[in-house]
Amino acid sequence: MNLKEPRDTVATAAPDGEDIGPERPAVLSSVDRVHDKLPERILSGDYPPGSRLVLARLSKEHGVSFIPIREALQRLEAERLVVIETNRGARVAEISIADMRDIYETRVVLEQHAIREAIPRIDEDVLKRAEAALAEMQRYFDSGDEAAAFAAHQRFHFTLYEPAGSAWTMHVIRQLWASAGRYVRMAASVRPAPAQFVAEHRAIYDAVAAGDGDLAAERLIDNLRTTERLLTEAYERMPHRVS
């Protein structure tokens, strides 16, 4: 499948506050609507790992023809939520510790590159928006609104990455967040304690504000490694669900 150049879009967040998908166009097509709804069904377990995604059933559920269903499934295949097999149709991708680790290893490479490239282009406006997102993260955690806290978490990261100026880097990072969101959603209880989580992001912000690309990348990697480690520990305790 060929990836298309990203279109003019507006940002979106996953139901749990994680940024788990590419940005959506301001006016949603039938393909976009199906693409938005299917990941939630997958993440919620309505369509469990390995289950078949039957075109006729999906067409009836979403009230659209086969064509937008097929295109939405192709997008989800690019995000590694779905596997399409010749002459066998589509199925929900299996989950595995190896896949999760691969996602985070790739995120480490791309996100540290993005933040290094962005720092020389980050101005006071970007810093203010990032700091505001960080403050919102803290405030929402304090009030117990985790969904809003993780939405602020999304804004924090992408506010700092976007000045790098690479549409394709951002596009791929968003796809990786979509894939990572599946693992985070299924093991939500392993998230770092809010105080630790905010402190890790404050350290990233302080390094960026100081213009220190090496330190910012180091702090970002620490943050990603913490999540990867916690997820690995969680899934290693689920021998019948992952390998």
Q: Which two tokens stand for residue 221?
A: 């990697």
Looking at residue 187, what is its pLDDT? 67
Q: Which residue has the tokens 């978490």?
A: 153
* More confident: 45 or 60: 60
Q: Which two tokens stand for residue 77?
A: 């295949």
Judged against a pLDDT cut of 60, whether residue 10 lies above it is answered with: no
Q: What are phi and psi of 127, to 5 degrees?
A: -60, -40
- Total number of residues shown for the chain: 243
Please state, for a pLDDT cut of 90, what percent of the chain lies above it. Answer: 51
Mean local confidence (pLDDT), 201-229: 96
Which segment of 13-17, 28-32, 81-85 scores lowest on mean pLDDT?
A: 13-17
Judged against a pLDDT cut of 60, whether residue 241 lies above it is answered with: no
Mean local confidence (pLDDT), 93-103: 90
Judged against a pLDDT cut of 50, whether residue 182 lies above it is answered with: yes
Q: What are phi and psi of 24, to 5 degrees?
A: -105, 145
- The mean pLDDT value of the chain amounts to 84
Nearest Cα neighbor of 21 from 79, 96, 70 is 79
Q: Where does residue 97 rank: exposed (0-12), middle (13-18), buried (19+ CB within 10 A)?
A: middle
Looking at residue 95, what is its pLDDT? 85
Looking at residue 151, what is its pLDDT? 87
Which segment of 37-46, 165-174, 210-219 scores lowest on mean pLDDT?
A: 37-46
CATH code for the domain in which residue 165 is found: 1.20.120.530
* More confident: 233 or 91: 91
Looking at residue 188, what is its pLDDT? 62
Note whether residue 33 is domain-resident: no
Mean local confidence (pLDDT), 68-93: 90
Q: What are phi and psi of 212, to 5 degrees?
A: -95, 95
Note whether residue 159 is domain-resident: yes
Note whether residue 138 is domain-resident: yes
Using alpha carbons only, give the angle 92, 16, 181 rounded to the nearest 5 degrees: 40
pTM of the complete model = 0.74
Note whether residue 211 is domain-resident: yes
Which domain does 156 fall in, by range? 97-236
Looking at residue 23, what is its pLDDT? 47
Mean local confidence (pLDDT), 152-174: 95
Mean local confidence (pLDDT), 166-172: 94
Note whether residue 122 is domain-resident: yes
Note whether residue 185 is domain-resident: yes
Judged against a pLDDT cut of 60, whether residue 21 lies above it is answered with: no
Note whether residue 140 is domain-resident: yes
Note whether residue 168 is domain-resident: yes
What is the tens place of the pLDDT at every residue in 117-141? 999 999 999 999 999 999 999 999 9
Count of domains forming the chain? 1
Judged against a pLDDT cut of 50, whether residue 142 lies above it is answered with: yes
